[in-house]
Amino acid sequence: MYYRPQPPADPELIRSLTERQKEMSQQVIIQKPDFTLRTLAGCDSSFIGENILSVFVLLRYPELDILEIQYNYVPVEMPYVPGFLAFREAPNLLKAYEKLETKPDLIMVDGHGISHPRRLGIASYLGVLLQKPTMGVAKKILVGKYELPAPEKGSLTPIFHRDEHIANTLRTKDKVKPVFVSPGHLMDLETATRLALETARKHKLPEPTRLADHYAEELKKEVR
């Protein structure tokens, strides 16, 4: 397969996005969530050529029954720039969120919260825009150093970046690769880690993000 290299990002765009990230990161609040958790949503995005499909799956808590699924499919508005994926994904995620008839108490994002070089991953970005508690559960680490946790479910180790404890490496199943949990906004690391483990029932990924990922793949077949 022929690989077409991406043109370098516009330096002015990078400067503008960096400033925006710094501004928004100052608005991130890390705290124990102040809510009664009755519903939570998982969200994920998938790219199809020059289009983006974003999905929200709303679940009842603690049963984790599916209450609602909404999605939005549009052309991508911004080019891919490493470290600024939130700006590429968030506009369409917000459109999918607006379609939810019931707004969740908590949003679990397939991605990072404050475990980001400028402390503004997609979960934090969405949380600040929506002023809603958010948390990130990622499959891969973005920044920081950690040691692998023990192989048993529930084992965890801290992730440090610039001497700050920004996330946890969490084993959600025995002897499977861990996930990387971080608070997004109006959430603390301890609660985010507990909820990630609690909602990981039969699979490695917690049900909210697993189902969002699953329906993103299923809906891709429809929109194609």
Confidence (pLDDT) at 126: 98
Closest Cα to residue 135, out of 30, 215, 27? 30
Confidence (pLDDT) at 8: 65
Please tell me the pTM assigned to this model. 0.93
Q: What value does the mean pLDDT take over residues 196-208?
A: 97
- Residue at 16 is within a domain: yes
Q: Could you tell me which residues are beta bridge partners of residue 169?
A: 157, 180
- Residue at 56 is within a domain: yes
Query: What gap in Å lies between CA 21 and CA 6, rounded to an integer?
Result: 23
Residue that is written with structure tokens 């002897």 in the block: 175
Mean of the per-residue pLDDT values for the chain?
94
Confidence (pLDDT) at 3: 40
Number of structural domains the chain divides into: 1
Domain of 211: which CATH number? 3.30.2170.10
Query: What gap in Å lies between CA 81 and CA 87, rounded to an integer?
Result: 9
Q: Which two tokens stand for residue 129?
A: 């825009």
Q: Is the peptide bond before 62 cis (omega within 30 degrees of 0)?
A: yes
Is residue 93 within 8 A of residue 85, CB to CB? The reply is no
Task: Report the percent of the chain where pLDDT is more than 90.
Answer: 87
pLDDT for 159 beyond 80: yes
**For the chain, give me the number of helices (H) and strands (E)?**
5, 8
Taking each helix axis as running N to C, give the angle between helix 122-130 and helix 85-98, from 0 to 180 degrees, rounded to the nearest 10: 50
Q: Could you tell me which residues are beta bridge partners of residue 68?
A: 58
Q: What value does the mean pLDDT take over residues 53-80?
A: 96
Confidence (pLDDT) at 50: 92
φ and ψ at residue 137, rounded to 5 degrees:
-130, 110
What 3-state class would DSSP assign to 51? strand
- Residue at 217 is within a domain: yes
Residue that is written with structure tokens 């990002």 in the block: 9
- Residue at 110 is within a domain: yes
pLDDT for 210 beyond 80: yes
- Residue at 53 is within a domain: yes
For 130, the domain range is 11-223
Binding residue ranges: 44, 110
Binding residue ranges for Mg(2+): 44, 110
Confidence (pLDDT) at 116: 95
pLDDT for 184 beyond 90: yes
- Residue at 5 is within a domain: no
Q: How far is CA 151 from CA 147, 172, 175, in A?
A: 12, 10, 5
Confidence (pLDDT) at 41: 98
- Residue at 33 is within a domain: yes
Q: What value does the mean pLDDT take over residues 189-195?
A: 98
- Residue at 4 is within a domain: no
pLDDT tens sequence across 94-144:
999 999 999 999 999 999 999 999 999 999 999 999 999 999 999 999 999
pLDDT tens sequence across 3-60:
445 556 688 889 999 999 999 999 999 999 989 999 999 999 999 999 999 999 999 9
Task: Report the percent of the chain where pLDDT is more than 70.
Answer: 96
